[in-house]
Structures are given as structure tokens and as C-alpha cells.
């Protein structure tokens, strides 16, 4: 599939053409890369790379619209034919766009409505879409949203502690640079030769805009930008974190209006506000020549990033890799050093020579930690256009699941025991008594019960499910977690590293063991059913349960294909209660969340 990608900013247009191979691996390669910027007096600067051919200079395009209109001729000049879709970067997708979407009239109206949340970005993105729809009326125009990746952030991360009425009006954290953070995390996992789903990664994107993202086991847990791209790090012209009390103070002391304060926080702050220049190269140059304002700006910039890395390591309960990207992250060895030098305490050490010698050609992702550093440190170029092309292709290629009814089973709280736990709780040589078989072949409920004890309360008579497993796993609902008084993460079964401890009490003794989770909802699938529905193991889907007014759609539902599985969706008691689901209900897979796993 051949895809044209546009990334339109307020004053520049980057674009690329990508070929996505069909079949295994889905390798995506860039065949053209171009940009138009510095529009002035009816002309602009342009650069173009096609294979080994490069060109650049001034060209007569008055604005971004004119530049886009000239792209068909430009492609024809380089004999590039057969574009099948146009992909667009859209900065703010709000709470609704969790995946790429076709930019038809209703979708564009939604994006337009989000403009107040990204006033610098969304209008430029939308203008590019409108022009592209005119120029290529017969091609699908697909939006990939900077915010989508972060919609997996839990409520504790995306909620501001403000009055209910404000939250009802839509005030919440979103996070941006999602396409970049996702690409960088996948690239880092590839470079480390480990599955992304097993890693805790902190992605540090330092360009004109800048943000840090904690990616826990493949999902964005938190990022430093918030409702708008203003929160978080010090940026080229944006302040990053500022006490919101500043608004009242500046209004009273300087008589500034809200609009004036916002404008200054977005356009005259950050490096520019501190030094007069928004460009880190200038700032580093001036600092080296002794300019105290530039020196302070560099220290402040690095301190803020380091603070976020420490916070996100704590938020994830550890970190395996820190990855630098963006113009500053990729090109400034001294900034990388300044940020990392304070992090020895958490086992992160940068190697002097490796950090100096970073070369990033051909998607390289060199590691720059010193020998023995527990945390890996990588540098890689971000490739937002490439990632957009991948996501557009995966979206257009997604198998349309055929609706087949799936029985829904409600799992009460239960425990899977490992051999050593059984021994400690019930005594040496003890064997569980099978009470009744479960629908998943080979699984059964035992006669025996255990008690869960937490710092706030205890839950008695908790079911034990057999057979024994390698690791003890305790599955409770979120409501149970508050009854116990423990913060319990939502995890897929078996993903137990870093999970909290709970005390289990049996007739023979008690143990304190980790393995306490709220199980992610999932669908067990027989391979034949998966094939019939066009689904694969590991994909996430949306499942609709119920009809009419009572219909409820569960997103982020994991498909688990296992030989001999009895096809059945598992939800917990909280989910069942929320939806008023009773026995013998059925669900229907209605969509594939292509952005999550298919790319
Ligand atoms: P954008 O976010 O607009 O894509 P970039 O990712 O290109 O921007 O980052 C631009 C920033 O990177 C600028 O502050 C620029 O000064 C900085 N930068 C680029 N090269 C270097 C370098 N060699 N040393 C320090 N900073 C650099």
C-alpha cells in the first residue's frame, strides 16, 4: 500500500510517501521525504529527498495550501504513482479518537470543535486535510491523533483535582506527541531485543515542543503534557509547568487579561522567555560564551526533564530504558548528559564516549549507557510520518470482524495457587479437591477457600481455581481493591511483575505474596472462531453487549486465542454490575482497535 503523509504545522509542512509491504512483517519504507517552511513574500524554502537524490532551495508557494496543491506535480516529476491513501497528523483528538479515523465531514467537525484545546496545532492540521480532500477527492483521508496513544492513561493520571462542573465541561489531561512516543518505544524495544509488552520505558521527546512519556508494558501510563500542549517541560516558546495561581496574580499585579497571559505562556516563554532565543543551539552557544541567562535556562531545562524521569520511574515502579529523541534529544550530547548525570541513584549511568559518538543514520538507535548500568539509555530519531503511515495502513487493512455472538461470563474474585503457596496455606502434601469443572477445558473450581487480608480489610471465602500454576495470581475487582486498601493494577493474566503483595490465609498458615491484579477483560477464543471472525491472538477489540438503550460497548478487550479454548468473554463483577449484565448474556465483537496492536 502506498501512502502520502502530511504533517502540517502553523508555519511548516512536512510530508512523505511510504510503501507498506503486505504480509508478514509489514515493513514500511519511506520513498520520498519533503518539507516546505519559512513562507514569506509568496515563496518558501523547500527540501526534498527521493532515494539518493536530494534537492532544495526557494520555491514559489505562498502558503501551505499552495504547497499541498503542488504535490501531485511534484510526485509526477519523480515518477511516483499509485498513492492509495493520505494520512494526516492531527494534534488534538480529544477523548473520542482512540484510533486512526477516516476524516469525513462528522470527524472533521469533531476535530474542529477541539480547536480551543490546541489553538496552535489543530487549525493547521485541518487546513491541510481540507486542501488534500480537494486535491485527492477519491482517496481515503485518514487522521492519526497525537492524543490517541495516551487514552490508555488511568483516571488518576488524566484527572485534575478540580470541581466536578469543570470536569463535566471536559477539563482533563490528554497528552501529546503520542505518535512519536509510540514509535520511539517500539524502536527501543526492537533495539533492546525485548518485547515492548515486558518493558518500562521513559521516552523523552525534546524538540521545539517537548514532553516525557512513561510507557509501562507497551501502554502510555502518563505524559507530561496535559489538557493542552502547554503543561510539563520547558519548551522553545512554551513555559511548561506554572502554578495556575499565576493567572490571578498577573491579572491583579500587571493588569493582564487571560488571553494575554495564555499568549505569553505559549509564545514568549520557555527558552525564548528566559534567553530571548527559542533555539537550543543558540542557547548552548551563548551559555558556552558565558551568558548567565543562557546558563540558567539550560540548567532549568535539564532539571525539569530529570525531575519528570524520576517521577515516572516512581510512577511505573521502575524503568528499563530511557530514550531520547527530538532535535535536542537527538543532537545535544551535553543536554543528554546534564539530564542523566543526576540519575546515578537509580542505576542509570551514561558512557562518555558512547554519548559523544551518537550517529543516527538509517533509523539507528544506539545505546549510550555505560557498562553495568541497570537502566539502558538510547537515542533515536523520531519518525512521526513513518508511524502515521504504519497506522494508516493498519487501519485501512484491518480485518472487519464478522459479528458472531460470544457468551459472557462474570468472574468473581479468585486465586490461582502455585505449589509453594498451596503448601504454605494448606500444609505439605495437600491436594485440592475438585468441586466443579469450568468451561475452559482443564480448569476447575476447588472446594477449598482462602482469606485475603489487606491493610484496610479482609475478604473471606475466596474461591481457588485449579490446576496449580507456576506463579500465584490473585484476581479481585476494583471495588475489592478498595475494601482491601491496596492499589491494584489492571493486568493481563500472567503479567505479574511488579504487582503488589497481599496476605493469603489458609487453614495451615499464611503467606504474603505478590500477584494481586484486577484482570483485564478478555475473550477466550477457539482458533476456529478467531479465524471465522478474522481475529488474531493479542488484538484488542470493542465488544458490544446488550441491545437498544441498554447496549454497552467495552473497549480494550484482549483476544486470547488458545487451542481447545471455549469461546467466551470474561468480565469481572464491577463490569457486570455497571452494565447490569445477568446470566446468559451475549456480546458481539464490533470493532478492532487497530491502533493498539496491529501496527
Ligand atoms: P520540532 O519539534 O519543531 O520538530 P525539532 O525536533 O527539530 O523541532 O527540534 C528543534 C530543536 O532542536 C531546536 O531547539 C534546535 O535548536 C535543537 N537542536 C537541533 N540540533 C541541535 C544541536 N546540534 N544541539 C542542540 N540543539 C539542537
Superfamily of domain 1-145: ATPase, nucleotide binding domain (3.30.420.40)
- Answer yes or no: is the C-beta of 209 below 6 A from any ligand 1 atom: yes
If you search the block for the grid coordinates 511510504, which residue do you land on? 18
Ligand 1 centroid from CA 324, angstroms: 12
- Answer yes or no: is the C-beta of 9 below 6 A from any ligand 1 atom: no
Mode of pairing for the β-strands spanning 405-411 and 444-453 = unpaired
Architecture category of domain 177-397 in CATH: 2-Layer Sandwich (3.30)
Ligand 1 centroid from CA 28, angstroms: 26
pLDDT value, residue 177: 95
C-alpha cell at position 180:
512519536
- Answer yes or no: is the C-beta of 326 below 6 A from any ligand 1 atom: yes
Q: How many Å apart are CA 341 and CA 306, to the nearest integer?
A: 9
- Closest ligand 1 atom, CA of 205? 6
Which of 181, 328, 355, 383 should be mutated for ligand 1, with most atoms under 8 A from CB?
328
Task: Cite the DSSP H helix spans in 223-370.
Answer: 245-254, 258-267, 270-275, 280-288, 292-316, 326-331, 333-340, 352-356
Q: Is the peptide bond before 467 cis (omega within 30 degrees of 0)?
A: yes
Which is the catalytic residue, given 60, 63, 146, 529?
Answer: 146
Q: HEC string of 451-504?
A: EEECCCCEEEEEEEEEEEECCCEEECCHHHHHHHCCCCCEECCCCCCCCCCEEE
pLDDT value, residue 131: 96
Rounded to an integer, the average pLDDT of 586-590 is 76
- Closest ligand 1 atom, CA of 9? 3
- Would the pLDDT of 595 be above 70? no
Which of 8, 176, 281 should be mutated for ligand 1, with most atoms under 8 A from CB?
281
Nearest in space to 283 (alpha carbons), one of 344, 221, 334, 357: 334
- Would the pLDDT of 38 be above 70? yes
Using alpha carbons, list the distances in angstroms from residue 331 to 79, 264, 271, 334, 381: 34, 28, 17, 9, 9
Chain mean pLDDT for the chain: 92
Say if 1-145 and 177-397 have the same CATH topology.
Answer: yes
Q: How many residues does the chain have?
A: 599
Q: HEC string of 191-239?
A: HHCCCHHHCEEEEEEECCCEEEEEEECCEEEEECCCCCCCCCCCCCCCC
- Answer yes or no: is the C-beta of 143 below 6 A from any ligand 1 atom: no
Ligand 1 centroid from CA 333, angstroms: 12
pTM of the model: 0.85
Ligand 1 atom 19, closest CA: 327
Mode of pairing for the β-strands spanning 2-8 and 85-90 = parallel
Q: How many helices (H) and strands (E) does the chain have?
A: 21, 28
Q: How many Å apart are CA 137 and CA 444, to the nearest integer?
A: 57
Q: How many Å apart are CA 295 and CA 292, to the nearest integer?
A: 5
Dihedral angle at the C-alpha atoms of 389, 393, 395, 399, nearest 10 degrees? -160
Ligand 1 centroid from CA 328, angstroms: 5
pLDDT value, residue 596: 37
- Answer yes or no: is the C-beta of 270 below 6 A from any ligand 1 atom: no
When pLDDT is cut at 50, 70 and 90, the band that residue 403 belongs to is low
pLDDT in tens, 228-261: 999 999 999 999 999 999 999 999 999 999 999 9
C-alpha cell at position 407:
457468551
∠ Cα 589 590 592 (to 5°)? 90
- Would the pLDDT of 520 be above 70? yes
pLDDT value, residue 597: 37
Instruction: Determine contact, residues 147/92, Cβ cutoff 8 Å.
Output: yes
pLDDT value, residue 400: 59
Q: Measured in whole angstroms, how far is the alpha carbon of residue 463 from the centre of its chain?
A: 35
Per-residue burial over 317-328, b = 16 or more CB atoms within 10 Å of its CB, e = otherwise: eebbbbbbbbbb
Task: Cite the DSSP H helix spans in 58-104.
Answer: 64-69, 71-77
Which residues have C-beta within 8 Å of that of residue 472, sequence separation ≥ 6? 415, 416, 417, 418, 421, 504, 513, 515
When pLDDT is cut at 50, 70 and 90, the band that residue 342 belongs to is confident
Least confident of 79-83, 359-363, 534-538: 534-538
Q: Where are the domains of the chain?
A: 1-145, 177-397, 412-519, 522-594
pLDDT value, residue 140: 94
- Would the pLDDT of 169 be above 50? yes
> Phi, psi (5° rounding) for residue 104?
-95, -175
- Would the pLDDT of 24 be above 80? no
Using alpha carbons, list the distances in angstroms from residue 119 to 176, 360, 481: 14, 33, 40
- Answer yes or no: is the C-beta of 329 below 6 A from any ligand 1 atom: no
If you search the block for the grid coordinates 483521508, which residue do you land on? 141
pLDDT in tens, 529-581: 888 887 888 888 888 887 666 678 888 899 999 998 999 999 888 888 877 77
Ligand 1 atom 22, closest CA: 331
pLDDT in tens, 449-499: 999 999 999 999 999 999 999 999 999 999 999 999 999 999 999 999 989
Query: Does 487 participate in catalysis according to the annotation?
Result: no
Q: How many Å apart are CA 147 and CA 520, to the nearest integer?
A: 22
> Phi, psi (5° rounding) for residue 112?
-60, -40
Q: How many Å apart are CA 223 and CA 312, to the nearest integer?
A: 9
∠ Cα 273 250 121 (to 5°)? 55
Q: What is the layout of strands, in order, in the sheet containing 219-223?
A: 219-223, 210-216, 200-206, 321-325, 376-379
- Would the pLDDT of 122 be above 50? yes
Which of 12, 38, 206, 280 should be mutated for ligand 1, with most atoms under 8 A from CB?
280
Type and span of the H or E element at 187 = helix 178-192
Amino acid at each position: 500500500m502506498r501512502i502520502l503523509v502530511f504533517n502540517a504545522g502553523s508555519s511548516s509542512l512536512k510530508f512523505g510517501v511510504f510503501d507498506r509491504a503486505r504480509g508478514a512483517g509489514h515493513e514500511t519504507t519511506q520513498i520520498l521525504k519533503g518539507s516546505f517552511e519559512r513562507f514569506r513574500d509568496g515563496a518558501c524554502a523547500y527540501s526534498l529527498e527521493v532515494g539518493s537524490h536530494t534537492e532544495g532551495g526557494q520555491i514559489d508557494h505562498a502558503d501551505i495550501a499552495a504547497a499541498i496543491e503542488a504535490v501531485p506535480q511534484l510526485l509526477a516529476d519523480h515518477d511516483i504513482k499509485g498513492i492509495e491513501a493520505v494520512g494526516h497528523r492531527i494534534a488534538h483528538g480529544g477523548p473520542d479518537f482512540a484510533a486512526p479515523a477516516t476524516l469525513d465531514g462528522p470527524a472533521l467537525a469533531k476535530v474542529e470543535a477541539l480547536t480551543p484545546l490546541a489553538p496552535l496545532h489543530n487549525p493547521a492540521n485541518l487546513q491541510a486535510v481540507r486542501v488534500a480532500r480537494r486535491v485527492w477527492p477519491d482517496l481515503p483521508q485518514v487522521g492519526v491523533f497525537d492524543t490517541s496513544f495516551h487514552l490508555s492513561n488511568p483516571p488518576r493520571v488524566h484527572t485534575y483535582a478540580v470541581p466536578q462542573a469543570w470536569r463535566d465541561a471536559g477539563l482533563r489531561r490528554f497528552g501529546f506527541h503520542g505518535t512519536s512516543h509510540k514509535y520511539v518505544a517500539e524502536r527501543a524495544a526492537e533495539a533492546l531485543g525485548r518485547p515492548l509488552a515486558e518493558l518500562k520505558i521513559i521516552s523523552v521527546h525534546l524538540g521545539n515542543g517537548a514532553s516525557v512519556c512513561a510507557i509501562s508494558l507497551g501502554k502510555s501510563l502518563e505524559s507530561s503534557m496535559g489538557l493542552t500542549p502547554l503543561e510539563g517541560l520547558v519548551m522553545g516558546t512554551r513555559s511548561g509547568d506554572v502554578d495556575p495561581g499565576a493567572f490571578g496574580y498577573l491579572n491583579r499585579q500587571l493588569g493582564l487579561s487571560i488571553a494575554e497571559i495564555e499568549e505569553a505562556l505559549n509564545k514568549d516563554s520557555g527558552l525564548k522567555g528566559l534567553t530571548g532565543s527559542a533555539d537550543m543551539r543558540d542557547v548552548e552557544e551563548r551559555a558556552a560564551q558565558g551568558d548567565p541567562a543562557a546558563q540558567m535556562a539550560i540548567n532549568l531545562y535539564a532539571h525539569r526533564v530529570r525531575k519528570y524521569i524520576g517521577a515516572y520511574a516512581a510512577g511505573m515502579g521502575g524503568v528499563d530504558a530511557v530514550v531520547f529523541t527530538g532535535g535536542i534529544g537527538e543532537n545535544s550530547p551535553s543536554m543528554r548528559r546534564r539530564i542523566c548525570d543526576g540519575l546515578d541513584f537509580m542505576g542509570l549511568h551514561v558512557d562518555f564516549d558512547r554519548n559523544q559518538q551518537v550517529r543516527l543514520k538509517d533509523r539507528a538507535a544506539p545505546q549510550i549507557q555505560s557498562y553495568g548500568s541497570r537502566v539502558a539509555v538510547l537515542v533515536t530519531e523520531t519518525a512521526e510520518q513513518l508511524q502515521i503511515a504504519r497506522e494508516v495502513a493498519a487501519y485501512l487493512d484491518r480485518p472487519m470482524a464478522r459479528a458472531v455472538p460470544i457468551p459472557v461470563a462474570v468472574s468473581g474474585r479468585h486465586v490461582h495457587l502455585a505449589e509453594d503457596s498451596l503448601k504454605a496455606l494448606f500444609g505439605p502434601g495437600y491436594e485440592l479437591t475438585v468441586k466443579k469443572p469450568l468451561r475452559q477445558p482443564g480448569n476447575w473450581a476447588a472446594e477449598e477457600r482462602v482469606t485475603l487480608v489487606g491493610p484496610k480489610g479482609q475478604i473471606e471465602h475466596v474461591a481457588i481455581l485449579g490446576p496449580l500454576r507456576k506463579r500465584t495470581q490473585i484476581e479481585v475487582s476494583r471495588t475489592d481493591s478498595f475494601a482491601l486498601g491496596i492499589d491494584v493494577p489492571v493486568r493481563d493474566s500472567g503479567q505479574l511483575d511488579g504487582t503488589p503483595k497481599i496476605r493469603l490465609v489458609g487453614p495451615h498458615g499464611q503467606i504474603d505474596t505478590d500477584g494481586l491484579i484486577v484482570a483485564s477483560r478478555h475473550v477466550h477464543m477457539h482458533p476456529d472462531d478467531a479465524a471465522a471472525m478474522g481475529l488474531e491472538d493479542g488484538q484488542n477489540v470493542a465488544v458490544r453487549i446488550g441491545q437498544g438503550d441498554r447496549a454497552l460497548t467495552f473497549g480494550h478487550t484482549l483476544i486470547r486465542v488458545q487451542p481447545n479454548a471455549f469461546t467466551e468473554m470474561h468480565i469481572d463483577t464491577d463490569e457486570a454490575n455497571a452494565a447490569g449484565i445477568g446470566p446468559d448474556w451475549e456480546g458481539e465483537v464490533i470493532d478492532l482497535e487497530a491502533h493498539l496492536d496491529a501496527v
